[in-house]
């Protein structure tokens, strides 16, 4: 059988699986929270895999190898997002879950608005969620359509509509539970697909010895970080933009994925916070890291070698994965890897479309249009309509405005990182007045826009850094100016702080580990992906990997140890049975469900 036939066979099986979970959810979820956050009942393994799949989008699958091909190993530092995406979860998720349980928050807007006692922050969260849902999903859907076109010859417009329809169907019928269960299979396909394609490329190169010898012939542009910092806008002339500080601040942007409203909302949905540490330390950092540091890099570096040998000519970075797939994969493997790419794309689009609809429902329709008076069934139906609106909007933007799409899709993650301004306040008690939080987030968004679009990457640092830097600066400036909160806000915040400090107090050994980790984590950031990563240009070489690649592998392995220490030993992501029991009982619901 030919490759296209296998593509359609796998696609058929996948669609049946997606529709099964969608319809199952349709007939079982009867409450608003049941639909929007799966009745806080997402089980351990499902969350472990689905949250990992959602974190790593289709861009990981298709865009990442393409950029390694274009910019070389300096760009491959981006693979460290296997650690920096979940580390945001390590910082915030457990406490977010505890707060969701106690106060009955459904959307991140509920949490921010309650803590800062102002509705302005709710609207900022809604705006971020909307940007994320629409533009990030649009990027994903268009990527799936482009791949479908490449592999099976389906016109891009029809491919986009078809791919959007599959996601729309299972999200709208089954809600978050369906997204999660489809996410499980998507995780397996995503990781399996990356490994399979990378393995084929390695075999194509005649094994590691000859591949390694070919890589060694590449120039410094492919094998080195150009400099620590560039005192200007973007990279220096004639070099890639991947200075050491760009590698670092680009990771900040990706840290925005798990601080985005969608992920905060998902955290409210999990049954127990038990899977968090396992998802962060092992599923993301180890499993996805294993796929990216070896197999994705094989694809990107392999493509470069193949091009220099005159075997395949890649015109642009987005051609790399589709061309490798159609050139080297036999029928069955092509079907499987194609499904891996589609799964990667859907696994990200689905939760963003789903949570985007839910946030619009709860924070706008239910709260402001219906004045908190709508039945469960009305909420579920409006939620479905809003998710449909988000899907159609994403599709419309994707099909009409490619330039805006790229800009706004990239802005989304940086905006997610700006949410740190609110999260460090709510979760860890960083003190600034409510007006500081509001103006801080606003200033952060403006700074992101300016440093992305108007003056791109000042000092060769990513807009995500400038956004959160500006956000925190403004928040603390408001405090410095002596702006005070209302008494009600102060009391409310003190009550939240007392609850969190009491229920989430680490054990004696946990406190010791936290002390150590306060030094270890910055040191890891500094050497692995920060200014000192330039040392990797010629530090050491292992097993035939060029020095920079060896540096990345070693710091990745150390990163697994660091995440284990941070999540488990420092108790940043673990919970005890007593904590969970207390969270179940000590409720003080402040958000009406229906």
Stretch that binds other proteins, among 17-25, 131-139, 541-549, 580-588 (CB under 8 A): 541-549
Site string for other proteins, 181-220 (x = CB under 8 A): ---------------------x---xxxxx-x--------
Looking at beta carbons only, is 127 or 202 nearer to other proteins? 202
Q: Are 316 and 594 in contact (CB under 8 A)?
A: no
Looking at beta carbons only, is 134 or 281 nearer to other proteins? 281
Looking at beta carbons only, is 41 or 212 nearer to other proteins? 212
Q: Which two tokens stand for residue 501?
A: 């400090």
Q: How many residues bind other proteins (CB under 8 A)?
A: 26
Q: Hunting for tokens 């359509």 — which residue is that?
A: 145
Q: How far is the CB of 542 from other proteins (least distance, A)?
A: 6
**Identified binder of other proteins from the candidate list 190, 553, 566, 583, rule CB under 8 A:** 553
Looking at beta carbons only, is 309 or 587 nearer to other proteins? 309
In sequence order, the 6+-apart residues with CB closer than 8 A to the CB of 542 are 550, 553, 554
Q: Are 251 and 416 in contact (CB under 8 A)?
A: no
Looking at beta carbons only, is 32 or 93 nearer to other proteins? 93
Q: What dihedral angle (degrees, nearest 10) is formed by the CA atoms of 389, 391, 392, 398?
A: 140
Q: What's the CA gap between 306 and 582, in Å, rounded?
A: 59
Q: Which two tokens stand for residue 17?
A: 């699986």
Contact between 328 and other proteins by CB under 8 A: the answer reads: no
Residue 294 backbone dihedrals phi, psi, to 5 degrees: -105, -60
Which helix (DSSP H) or strand (DSSP E) does residue 208 occupy? helix 208-216
**Identified binder of other proteins from the candidate list 396, 407, 561, 588, rule CB under 8 A:** 561
Contact between 542 and other proteins by CB under 8 A: the answer reads: yes
Helix axes 156-204, 58-71, angle to 10 degrees: 60
Looking at beta carbons only, is 548 or 567 nearer to other proteins? 567
Q: Are 533 and 77 in contact (CB under 8 A)?
A: yes
Q: How far is the CB of 151 from other proteins (least distance, A)?
A: 27
Looking at beta carbons only, is 132 or 294 nearer to other proteins? 294
Stretch that binds other proteins, among 68-76, 231-239, 320-328, 558-566 (CB under 8 A): 558-566
Contact between 506 and other proteins by CB under 8 A: the answer reads: no
Looking at beta carbons only, is 229 or 287 nearer to other proteins? 287
Q: How far is the CB of 549 from other proteins (least distance, A)?
A: 10
Looking at beta carbons only, is 38 or 276 nearer to other proteins? 276
Looking at beta carbons only, is 290 or 476 nearer to other proteins? 290
Q: How far is the CB of 555 from other proteins (least distance, A)?
A: 12
In sequence order, the 6+-apart residues with CB closer than 8 A to the CB of 74 are 224, 225, 226, 240, 242, 247, 548
| Paired residues of 458 in beta bridges | 233
SS3 for 587?
Answer: coil
In sequence order, the 6+-apart residues with CB closer than 8 A to the CB of 11 are 338, 339, 342
Contact between 499 and other proteins by CB under 8 A: the answer reads: no
Residues between 564 and 593 that touch other proteins (CB under 8 A): 564, 567-568
Stretch that binds other proteins, among 110-118, 380-388, 509-517, 551-559 (CB under 8 A): 551-559
**Identified binder of other proteins from the candidate list 15, 229, 446, 557, rule CB under 8 A:** 557
Residues between 254 and 313 that touch other proteins (CB under 8 A): 277-278, 281-282, 286, 290, 294
Contact between 560 and other proteins by CB under 8 A: the answer reads: yes
**Identified binder of other proteins from the candidate list 103, 170, 314, 545, rule CB under 8 A:** 545
In sequence order, the 6+-apart residues with CB closer than 8 A to the CB of 323 are 150, 303, 312, 314
Long-range contacts of 464-468 (CB under 8 A, 24+ apart): 464/249, 464/250, 464/252, 464/253, 464/255, 464/256, 464/413, 464/414, 464/417, 464/418, 465/249, 465/252, 467/414, 467/415, 467/417, 467/418, 468/252, 468/417, 468/418, 468/420, 468/421, 468/444
Stretch that binds other proteins, among 35-43, 77-85, 436-444, 552-560 (CB under 8 A): 552-560
Q: Which two tokens stand for residue 470?
A: 């500006």
Q: How far is the CB of 263 from other proteins (least distance, A)?
A: 23
Looking at beta carbons only, is 458 or 510 nearer to other proteins? 510
Q: What dihedral angle (degrees, nearest 10) is formed by the CA atoms of 199, 160, 155, 300?
A: -30
SS3 for 589?
Answer: coil
Q: How far is the CB of 260 from other proteins (least distance, A)?
A: 27
Q: How far is the CB of 410 from other proteins (least distance, A)?
A: 31
Q: Which two tokens stand for residue 534?
A: 């330039």
Q: What's the CA gap between 529 and 583, in Å, rounded?
A: 37
Looking at beta carbons only, is 278 or 465 nearer to other proteins? 278
Which residues of the chain form contacts with other proteins (CB under 8 A)?
A: 202, 206-210, 212, 277-278, 281-282, 286, 290, 294, 542-545, 553, 556-557, 560-561, 564, 567-568
């Amino acid at each position: 059988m030919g490759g296209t036939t296998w593509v359609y066979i796998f696609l058929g099986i996948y669609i049946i699986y997606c529709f099964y979970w969608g319809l199952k959810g349709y007939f079982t979820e009867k409450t608003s929270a049941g639909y929007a956050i799966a009745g806080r009942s997402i089980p351990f393994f499902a969350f472990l895999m689905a949250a990992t799949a959602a974190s790593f989008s289709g861009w990981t699958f298709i865009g990442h190898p393409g950029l390694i091909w274009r910019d070389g190993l300096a760009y491959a530092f981006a693979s460290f997002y296997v650690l920096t995406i979940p580390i945001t979860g390590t910082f915030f998720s457990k406490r977010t879950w505890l707060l969701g349980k106690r106060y009955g928050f459904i959307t991140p807007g509920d949490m921010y608005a309650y803590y800062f006692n102002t509705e302005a922050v709710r609207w900022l969260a809604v705006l971020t969620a909307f940007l994320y849902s629409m533009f990030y999903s649009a990027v994903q859907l268009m990527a799936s359509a482009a791949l479908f076109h490449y592999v099976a010859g389906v016109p891009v417009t029809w491919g986009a509509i078809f791919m959007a329809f599959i996601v729309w169907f299972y999200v709208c019928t089954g809600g978050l539970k369906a997204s999660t269960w489809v996410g499980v299979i998507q995780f397996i396909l995503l990781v399996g697909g990356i490994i399979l394609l990378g393995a084929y490329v390695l075999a194509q190169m005649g094994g590691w010895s000859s591949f390694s010898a070919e890589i060694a012939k590449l120039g410094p542009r492919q094998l080195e970080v150009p400099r620590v910092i560039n005192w200007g806008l973007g990279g220096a002339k004639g070099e890639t933009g991947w200075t050491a500080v760009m590698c670092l601040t680009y990771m900040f942007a990706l840290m925005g994925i798990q601080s985005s409203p969608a992920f905060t909302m998902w955290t409210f949905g999990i049954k127990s916070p038990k899977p968090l540490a396992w998802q962060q330390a092992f599923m993301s950092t180890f499993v996805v890291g294993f796929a990216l540091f070896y197999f994705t890099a094989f694809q990107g570096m392999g493509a470069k070698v193949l091009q220099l040998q005159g075997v395949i000519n890649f015109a642009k970075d987005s051609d790399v994965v589709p061309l490798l797939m159609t050139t080297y994969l036999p029928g069955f493997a092509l079907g499987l890897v194609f499904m891996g790419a589609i799964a990667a794309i859907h696994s990200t689009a689905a939760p963003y479309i789903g949570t985007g609809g839910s946030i619009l429902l709860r924070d706008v329709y239910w709260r402001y249009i219906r004045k908190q008076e709508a039945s469960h069934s009305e909420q579920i139906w409006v939620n479905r309509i809003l998710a449909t609106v988000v899907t159609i909007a994403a599709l419309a933007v994707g099909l009409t405005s490619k330039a805006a799409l790229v800009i706004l899709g990239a802005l989304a993650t940086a905006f997610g990182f700006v949410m740190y301004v609110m999260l460090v306040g709510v979760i860890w008690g960083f003190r600034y007045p409510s007006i500081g939080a509001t103006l801080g987030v606003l200033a952060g968004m403006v700074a992101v826009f300016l440093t992305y679009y108007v003056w791109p990457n000042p000092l060769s640092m990513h807009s995500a850094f400038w956004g959160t830097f500006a956000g925190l600066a403004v928040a603390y400036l408001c405090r410095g100016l002596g702006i005070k909160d209302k008494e009600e806000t102060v009391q409310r915040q003190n009550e939240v702080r007392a609850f969190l400090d009491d229920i989430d107090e680490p054990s004696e050994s946990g406190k010791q580990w936290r002390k150590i980790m306060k030094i270890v984590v910055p040191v890891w950031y500094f050497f692995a992906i920060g200014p000192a990563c330039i040392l990797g240009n010629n530090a050491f070489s292992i097993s035939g990997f060029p020095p920079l690649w060896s540096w990345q592998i070693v710091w990745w392995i150390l990163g697994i140890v660091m995440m284990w220490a941070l999540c488990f030993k420092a108790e940043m992501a673990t919970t005890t049975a007593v904590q969970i029991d207390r969270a179940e009982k000590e409720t003080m619901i402040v958000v009406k469900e229906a």
